[in-house]
Structure 1
Amino acid sequence: MEKLPNECYEITFYNLCHKDLFSCALVNRRWCRNTIPILWSEPEHHFSNIRLIRVLLLMLNVEEQVLLIPLNLRLPTHQKPLFEYTSYITSIKCHLYGGIKKLFPRIKSGTKNEVGNAVKCSLYAMFLRTGKNLKHLYIDEIIYNQFIFKNLYECTTITSVDLYLPHNIDDYFKSKAIDVLVKTIRKNSTLASLKVNSTKFGFERVETVLEALYNNTVINSLSLYDSHISAEEGKMLAMFLYMKTTITSLTLCGGEESWSLYGV
């Protein structure tokens, strides 16, 4: 009996639930090679699993491990995985921090936590370095880290970025994060969708971001959440939308009011 081509396996496996896919991965090597990419394509809430975080830490290179050395963390020392699992991931969402806090219980809530941010920086740098299929990226204020923004500029697979800047972020770090955002808008040629969840930007920052967006011909979807846009900033945004014809989807949410505009 002739073996089925991989395309047939892929169609079959894509219609199975995760529980069945795990069983299929244990049948033989060929089935394993076909199921692993599917299992790892959308980790989402599985990022809160300690075992998965341990696997990810095993995949850090020397540069990414350097960030963690001063913290004296006890990192996994097992053999590196046979598969480069992160190369199959298509989306990084907000569940990652939950898994990090479970693995390192001394991490406390807050934006200034040294341990939590260092681990996140290392993992995000690794995601951007290995993410051959990475399309959507959720990221917070650690975007200003040099290991991250360098890879973010050069990543040619990402089409959607969701940037979250918490309310209690220091103004200095907010400025650095927005600077990186502006440079990303200018340098990344594949980014088509941008979501920013933040507190007040300020007139000059809004002007800088809109200027970068105006010169970008790829981004067609823009969402600003919790933006607290002032009257002057609103006028500037209105002028930007009037002149920027490539934005086809716009969402503005702030305070007690919200707007959703499509086909702008």
Structure 2
Amino acid sequence: MIKLPNECYYPIFNNLQDNYKNLLSCALVNRQWCRIIIPILWSKAKNHLNDRRLITIFLLMLNTKEQALLIPFNIILPSHPVPLFKYANYITSINDDLDYGITRWLRYNKYETGRLKNVVKFSLISMFQRTNKSLKSINLNCNYYQFGSERMNTLLEALYDNTALNTLELHSYNIDIEGGRIIAKFFCKTTTLIHLNLSSNNLGSEGGEALADALCKNTTLTTLNLHNNNIGSKGGKALANALCKNITLTTLYSGVAITLDQKEEKR
């Protein structure tokens, strides 16, 4: 019997990616199939981030620096063996379900939520960004709990290494002027980002100007949401000038949605 190469298995198993039960059964057949199937299964993990068991697995993947963030809060990490696969590498998207999963993990282990939730969340997001340079979507709402500007800016700087991100939504994170500049730098570099939502932050006029300057250089973004950011008249004027130079943006939301279907006529 001729052994099929991996290139033949990939499309076969990809066709089963929404049939978790059958795909999991196939993963148990042999090691070769397992190595192919595990990345496919975990690419859909965003649909299960609210499961505390996934949070346990993710905590096992923290490095020494990420673990150290939890020590001052007396959070005892799981003592299970290190996972055989680097599951976080295969995740393509993280969203607000991560909050629910962390909350459930904390409650199950008899911890209070609130501040501890954000400490764990910061460690996990740091781990995701360190291990996974191919995240396609980050959609997180801080729910008005704040990491603090230093930690937030550390997370934003980690975006520089991502080469696949097409959607970034960080609303209600109190991102300040410096955070706006960091995002603007990433904004100039990225060739994949098409949707950026920074609503309800604190960018101010200088952050707005930095993003406007980046908008002049970016050639991929189609949707930008800067609602409720205290951008002011200076930031607004800079954005207006940027719209005359940008050739890809179709929707700008800054309090009301603006669709730029007839851009050439408006110049």
TM-score of the two chains, using structure 1 as the length reference: 0.82
Whole-angstrom CA distance in 1 between matches of 2:262 and 2:221 = 10
Give the aligned partner of residue 113 of structure 2. 107
Q: Which moved more, 1:25-34 or 1:236-245?
A: 236-245
After superposition, the Cα gap between the structure-2 partners of 1:231 and 1:62, relative to the gap in structure 1 and judged at 3 Å, is closer
Which of 19, 22, 40 is matched with 1:20 structurally?
22
Give the aligned partner of residue 258 of structure 1. 257
Whole-angstrom CA distance in 2 between matches of 1:43 and 1:49 = 10
User: Aligned-pair distance for 1:90?
Assistant: 1.4
Q: Residues 161-172 of structure 1 correspond to what in structure 2 (within 5 A)?
A: 161-165=168-172, 169=174
Give the aligned partner of residue 47 of structure 1. 49
Q: How many residues align?
A: 249
Deviations 1:84-113 (A, max 9, x none): 1111111222211110011112113xxxx2
Whole-angstrom CA distance in 2 between matches of 1:248 and 1:164 = 20
Whole-angstrom CA distance in 2 between matches of 1:262 and 1:76 = 53
Which of 203, 206, 210 is matched with 2:205 structurally?
203
Which of 157, 164, 184 is matched with 2:164 structurally?
157
Q: Which moved more, 1:173-182 or 1:64-73?
A: 173-182
Deviations 1:128-167 (A, max 9, x none): 111143222224565852652342222333343222225x
Whole-angstrom CA distance in 2 between matches of 1:130 and 1:239 = 38
Give the aligned partner of residue 73 of structure 1. 75
After superposition, the Cα gap between the structure-2 partners of 1:133 and 1:81, relative to the gap in structure 1 and judged at 3 Å, is same
Q: Structure 1: which 5+ residue stretches go unaligned?
A: none
After superposition, the Cα gap between the structure-2 partners of 1:42 and 1:126, relative to the gap in structure 1 and judged at 3 Å, is same
User: Aligned-pair distance for 1:263?
Assistant: 7.8
Give the aligned partner of residue 9 of structure 2. 9
User: Aligned-pair distance for 1:41?
Assistant: 0.8
TM-score of the two chains, using structure 2 as the length reference: 0.81
Deviations 1:155-198 (A, max 9, x none): 333343222225xx4xxx54453343234324x43442242242
User: Aligned-pair distance for 1:212?
Assistant: 2.8
Work out whether residues 51 and 101 of structure 2, in 8 Å CA contact, stay in contact via their aligned partners in 1.
yes
User: Aligned-pair distance for 1:61?
Assistant: 0.5
RMSD of aligned alpha carbons: 2.7
| 3-state SS, counterpart of residue 99 of structure 1 | helix
Q: Structure 2: which 5+ residue stretches go unaligned?
A: none
Work out whether residues 248 and 263 of structure 1, in 8 Å CA contact, stay in contact via their aligned partners in 2.
no
| 3-state SS, counterpart of residue 161 of structure 1 | strand
Whole-angstrom CA distance in 1 between matches of 2:185 and 2:51 = 33
Give the aligned partner of residue 31 of structure 1. 33
Give the aligned partner of residue 135 of structure 1. 136
